[in-house]
Amino acid sequence: MRTIFKISIFLFLCFSVNSLQAQEQPAEFDQHFTHVVYFWLKNPDSVQDRKDFLVSLEKFLENSEYAKTKFIGKPAGTPREVVDGSFTFSLILTFPSAEIQDLYQKEPAHLKFIEESEHLWEKVVVYDSLPATSEEE
């Protein structure tokens, strides 16, 4: 009986360790080129519009060949004077280079997302950034 108990414990520990190792690790933030997009939906209170937008955006990100870090956000509700929480959704993507980001702009998944979703938004603002160092100034 003790042998069966020991074997059971051993198997449980083996499966637990493998399960922890198999969990997806978050993508490392690539600091070469950052593409931040803010979307203001025409009907931000429409549950259906928000759902349609997110489904299209998630499908696009699953199929993007070029984006590394992929983060979809919403306003955090932080009530500080310097915080603009007027957008409906944000998107943060990173790329290994500006040239790869240029390819992303033309990729079919990105163009399909725009085609499917542009009727839902009234405003889009994009901030593209490169790394800054004190040595440049």
User: Following DSSP, what letter does each residue of 52-79 receive, concatenated?
Assistant: HHHHHHHHHHHH-SS--SEEEE------
Contact 68, 93 (CB under 8 A): yes
- pLDDT in single tens digits along all 137 residues of the chain: 565 544 444 444 444 444 434 444 455 666 789 999 999 999 999 999 999 999 999 999 999 999 888 999 999 999 899 999 999 999 999 999 999 999 999 999 999 999 999 999 999 999 999 988 877 65
**100: which residues sit within 8 A by CB, 6+ positions away?**
33, 66
Domain ranges of the chain: 33-129
Question: 3.30.70.1290, 1.25.40.10, 3.30.70.100, 3.40.920.10: which CATH number matches 33-129?
Answer: 3.30.70.100
Q: Which residues pair with 36 in a beta bridge?
A: 92, 127
The residues near 108 (Cβ < 8 Å, ≥ 6 apart) are 63
